[in-house]
Amino acid sequence: MINFEYARARGVADAVRLAAAAPGAKFIAGGTNLIDLMKEHVECPSRLIDISRLPLNRVEETPAGGLRIGTLVPNADLANHSLAAARYPLLASAISAGASAQLRNMVTTGSNLLQRTHCPCFYDTARPCNKREPGSGCSAIKGLNRMHAILGASDRRIATHSSDMSVALAALDALVHVAGPAGERTIPIAEFHRLPGDAPQRDTTLQPVEIVTAVELPARGFAAHCSYLKICDRLSYAFGLVTVAAALELDAGRIAEARLPLGGVAHKPWRDPAAEAALRGQPAQQAVIARAADLVL
């Protein structure tokens, strides 16, 4: 039995205050990941701070022509939102490829960004895991590691980030808005998730007790030329062995802009600047795409 306090936040500032007053506190919204982790005794928060009633569940246009997505917008609502589906079909496709219909109705934008790895060793408290207990070792490196990182790993951690939505956000150069004791700040999605390095227990660059309030999409949505491809062991709900959010902007048959972030292969959505640069200015032909793929691999 895990003993914990429960508090319902009345606003973002109140949520931050409640978290700062209780070391080890966790924010809870949909709870689809956190409750599982608590059941397995992987997470043992001292206090659960319920943010599900905060007014952060809207999708709004920005003055710059993009979209601001509240952290509490359910994945199902976002994928089916008229503006998101029309302007950012890559994001809608990625969300639809992730989880089951029931989970997409519960998972929020913020919790999808912040989901923990689904490495079996992380969930098994009988095995050493640097992500769960820093310094204890990584059981996956010489153990069960079929679906683990092949890029950006370290000698301390080889787990992967499992979010489909985050791979599409990486292609779109999204911004993550957060709030904390020091006020509000904005983090580019490329800097939000981090590689394991010497601190494998940290998934993101969030500071203690900071809370994600929104995700902002720029006006450029690559709506005309994009595709989300997910390779997994079965067609029904499964985590990806490898995914790619491919997005191109064409100008007179040439590639003006290219984004090729990969998922399922690293501790964060993986973008290869050299591969993307190799596509820019080139004709949109199969041989050009193949050369870029060779660079990635």
Half-sphere exposure of 32 (CA within 13 A, CB side): 22
Question: CA-CA distance, 169 to 163, in Å (whole number)?
Answer: 10
Strands 67-70 and 226-231, by their bridges, are: unpaired
Q: In the block, which residue shows the tokens 């150069």?
A: 173
The mean per-residue pLDDT over the stretch 54-77 comes to: 98
Which H or E run includes 117?
none
Q: Is the entire prediction scored with pTM above 0.85?
A: yes
Which H or E run includes 27?
strand 26-28
pLDDT at 1: 65
Q: Is the pLDDT of residue 245 over 70?
A: yes
Which of 41, 15, 42 minimizes the C-alpha distance to 29?
A: 15
What residues contact 180, with CB distance under 8 A and at least 6 apart?
16, 207, 208, 209, 210, 211
pLDDT digits (tens, 9 = 90+) for 78-113: 999 999 999 999 999 999 999 889 999 999 999 999
Q: Is the pLDDT of residue 14 over 90?
A: yes
Domains, the chain, in order of start with CATH, read 56-217 (3.30.465.10), 226-296 (3.30.390.50)
Half-sphere exposure of 264 (CA within 13 A, CB side): 18
Q: What is the DSSP letter of 35?
A: H
Which H or E run includes 145?
none
pLDDT digits (tens, 9 = 90+) for 119-173: 999 999 999 999 999 999 999 999 888 899 999 999 998 999 999 999 999 999 9
pLDDT at 296: 85
What residues contact 267, with CB distance under 8 A and at least 6 apart?
117, 149, 152, 153, 157, 159, 160, 161, 193, 194, 195, 196, 203
Q: What is the DSSP letter of 204?
A: B
Alpha helices by DSSP H, the chain: 12-20, 34-39, 75-79, 82-87, 89-97, 101-106, 109-114, 120-123, 164-171, 189-192, 273-279, 286-296
Q: Is the pLDDT of residue 297 over 90?
A: no
Mean pLDDT of the chain: 95
Q: What percent of the chain has pLDDT over 70?
A: 100
Packing angle, helices 89-97 and 164-171, rounded to 10? 160
Query: How many CB atoms lie under 10 A from the CB of residue 269?
Result: 26
